[in-house]
Amino acid sequence: MYEPTRTQPRRSAHAMAAPHADFPHRSREEELDTQLAGHFAALLAVTDELRALTQDTGLDAAAEQLATEITRLRGGLPPTRSTVAAAIHEPHLAALHQRAHALAGRALVVAASRADTTAAILAAHRMDAHTAALHEREPAGAAH
């Protein structure tokens, strides 16, 4: 039959001091940097797609600002850029602007939580730009 153990198992001092030392840990700041760089990278991809579809020179400057910010957040590693060739049609452009607005909003939340003023300003400017682009594309007399 079963007989219970009479002594407690022994743990080494090292195992008790650092039970999870076998994998790397990142600080909260590093996690937020990673999240913010990811949001900006997704926003850059949408911005590059919009650049391919429109003649808006403001998107060129925005893409460069985003790439610079991503490089800073990734410790000097520049983002991978995409080239997109697609046919222009209005619903697709509106959806891209809506997606870009949402991504910029997510980036703004993370930037605010890490108190990164530069990133927060960039995200807020992108939100404003995509809101303006959506309003320009609305048919005259459309109600909100």
Q: How many Å apart are CA 20 and CA 40, to the nearest integer?
A: 31
Residue 19 half-sphere exposure toward CB, CA atoms < 13 A: 2
Q: Total domain count for the chain?
A: 1
pLDDT of residue 10: 63
Structure tokens at 59: 């998107």
Kindly state whether residue 9 falls inside one of the protein's structural domains.
no
Q: What is the mean pLDDT of the chain?
A: 84
Mean pLDDT of 10-38: 75
CB 103 within 8 A of CB 46: yes
Q: Is residue 5 part of a domain?
A: no
For the segment 45-86, what is each residue's pLDDT rounded down to a tens digit? 999 999 888 888 899 999 999 999 999 999 999 998 876 555
19 in a structural domain: no
Residue 59 included in any domain: yes
Q: Is residue 102 part of a domain?
A: yes
Residue 82, pLDDT score: 73
Instruction: At 62, list the tokens.
Output: 């925005």
> From its phi and psi, is residue 2 left (phi > 0), alpha (psi between -120 and 50) or beta?
beta
Sign of the CA dihedral with 68 first, then 74, 76, and 79 last: negative
pTM: 0.74
96 within a domain of the structure (yes/no): yes
11 is a domain residue: no
C-alpha to C-alpha distance for 23 and 81, rounded to whole angstroms: 31
In CATH, what number is assigned to the domain containing residue 105? Answer: 1.20.1260.10
Task: Please provide the DSSP assignment of 91-106 as one string.
Answer: HHHHHHHHHHHHHHHH
Residue 22 or residue 129, greater confidence = 129
**49 within a domain of the structure (yes/no):** yes
Q: Which domain holds residue 66?
A: 27-137
Distance CA 37, CA 71 (A): 8
